[in-house]
């Protein structure tokens, strides 16, 4: 018999280990271990129940006979992956030698809203790169920066140099489309370059028991000002469904700043620190371990709506134009004219 182990990864703390009930390394034992883990540790049952009527006990009744009759590990992997898909949460996954099981519909049901080839029409070949951020000055004195990932940290001096190189621009388009996340500290570091004040940006909760509704009271989250150059001119952040995890957190931070607008599609979501667990047979399970809410108290796990909803039109796509970048430029022009007293 093996114990199922939980590993909660926190920003500056090594993973902690929590011992749970013992389960046998059998098809039924692994099924029970996974169902119980989700039942006791998953944080978003209330949202799933409200949105589409999820009944986790009914899921148990439906999938247990299937697990009991599995004749191979590969078949069991499919059954357990299908069970997790009942959560309709793209940030829950099961990993084994047979691959990784995700719920993909959260992303595939939305437009792509990004093209590398179209982006090259705007970046050109004379762009600069700092800490992985590609940036340039577009026509009409608009800055453009593409943040592909938060997998690596950002240096204060690097960010300051980038912003100083764009100092003659009327505004900045900050494109994070298809940014799958990385480190929350990197997202917060970049966001801190856009405020001179400490800003209340959201809340965090923690599980306090095994019940579906056992949570601590929401604790306030704040965005602190950065130590380097600060950009206070208009900013438009471009988003699509490929924006999740730490990138989703970045959107939550930025949308609280008065000179920032979010434009594009609803983000992919993902909030809280990831919880990693191992089933008795060694398969890995990963999901968000604690709810993060925005400043208005709304959950961010399943995505953040933009301030300005824009998709890339088929006509623009065929002509090599990015509708979202064009709309962002227009939004900056309008904001700049307004604060300049031209309206």
Is the pLDDT reported for residue 91 higher than 50?
Answer: yes
Is the pLDDT reported for residue 17 higher than 50?
Answer: no
Q: Can you tell me the mean pLDDT for 103-121?
A: 89
pLDDT, mean over the chain: 91
Of 8 and 113, the structure prediction assigns the larger pLDDT to 113
User: Looking at residue 10, what is its pLDDT?
Assistant: 37
Task: Quote the CA–CA distance of 229 and 237 in Å, as a whole number.
Answer: 19
User: What is the bridge-based pairing of β-strands 260-264 and 199-204?
Assistant: unpaired
User: Looking at residue 108, what is its pLDDT?
Assistant: 78
Of 342 and 238, the structure prediction assigns the larger pLDDT to 238
Exposure of 55 in the CB half-sphere (CA atoms within 13 A): 4
In this structure, of 58-72, 73-87, 136-150, 328-342, the range with the lowest mean pLDDT score is 328-342
User: Looking at residue 297, what is its pLDDT?
Assistant: 95
Is the pLDDT reported for residue 309 higher than 60?
Answer: yes
Is the pLDDT reported for residue 306 higher than 60?
Answer: yes
User: Looking at residue 292, what is its pLDDT?
Assistant: 95
Q: Can you tell me the mean pLDDT for 172-177?
A: 98
What residue segments make up the domains of the chain, in order of their start?
A: 2-108, 116-271+290-339
Q: Can you tell me the mean pLDDT for 247-271?
A: 96
Assigned CATH topology for domain 116-271+290-339: 2-enoyl-CoA Hydratase; Chain A, domain 1 (3.90.226)
Q: Can you tell me the mean pLDDT for 272-282?
A: 91
Q: Can you tell me the mean pLDDT for 220-227?
A: 97
> Which residues have CB under 8 Å from 74's CB, separation 6+?
98
Band of pLDDT at residue 341, cut at 50, 70 and 90: low
Q: Can you tell me the mean pLDDT for 9-17?
A: 36
CB atoms within 10 A of CB 64: 16
Q: Can you tell me the mean pLDDT for 168-195?
A: 96
Of 334 and 133, the structure prediction assigns the larger pLDDT to 133
Task: Quote the CA–CA distance of 226 and 198 in Å, as a whole number.
Answer: 10
Q: Can you tell me the mean pLDDT for 276-295?
A: 95
Class of the domain covering 2-108: alpha beta
Is the pLDDT reported for residue 240 higher than 90?
Answer: yes
What percent of the chain clears pLDDT 90, i.e. is strictly above it?
A: 83
Task: Quote the CA–CA distance of 122 and 320 in Å, as a whole number.
Answer: 10
Q: Can you tell me the mean pLDDT for 310-329?
A: 97
């Amino acid at each position: 018999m093996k114990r199922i182990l939980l590993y909660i990864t926190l920003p500056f703390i090594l993973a902690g280990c929590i011992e749970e009930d013992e389960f046998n390394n059998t098809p039924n034992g692994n099924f029970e271990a996974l169902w119980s883990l989700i039942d006791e540790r998953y944080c978003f049952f209330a949202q799933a129940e409200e949105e589409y009527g999820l009944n986790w006990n009914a899921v148990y009744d439906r999938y247990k006979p299937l697990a009991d009759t599995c004749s191979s590990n590969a078949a069991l992997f499919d059954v357990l992956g299908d069970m997790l898909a009942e959560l309709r949460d793209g940030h829950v996954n099961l990993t084994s030698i047979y691959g990784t099981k995700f719920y993909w519909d959260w992303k595939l049901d939305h437009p792509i809203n990004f093209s590398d080839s179209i982006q090259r029409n705007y970046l050109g070949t004379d762009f600069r790169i700092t800490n992985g951020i590609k940036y340039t000055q577009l026509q009409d004195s608009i800055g453009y920066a593409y943040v592909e990932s938060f997998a690596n940290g950002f240096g204060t001096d690097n960010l300051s140099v980038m912003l100083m190189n764009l100092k003659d621009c009327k505004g900045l388009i900050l494109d994070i489309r298809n940014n799958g996340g990385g480190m929350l500290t990197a997202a917060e570091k970049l966001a801190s370059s856009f405020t001179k004040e400490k800003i209340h940006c959201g809340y965090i909760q923690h599980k306090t028991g095994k019940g579906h509704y056992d949570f601590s009271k929401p604790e306030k989250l704040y965005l602190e000002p950065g130590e380097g150059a600060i950009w206070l001119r208009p900013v438009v952040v471009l988003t699509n469904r490929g924006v999740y995890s730490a990138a989703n957190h970045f959107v939550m931070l930025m949308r609280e700043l008065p000179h920032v607008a979010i434009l594009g599609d609803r983000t992919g979501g993902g909030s809280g620190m990831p919880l990693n667990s191992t089933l008795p047979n060694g398969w890995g399970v990963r999901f968000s371990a604690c709810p993060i809410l925005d400043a208005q108290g709304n959950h961010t796990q399943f995505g953040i709506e933009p301030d300005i909803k824009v998709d890339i039109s088929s006509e623009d796509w065929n002509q090599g134009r990015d509708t979202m970048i064009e709309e962002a430029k227009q939004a900056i022009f309008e904001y700049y004219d307004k604060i300049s007293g031209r309206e």
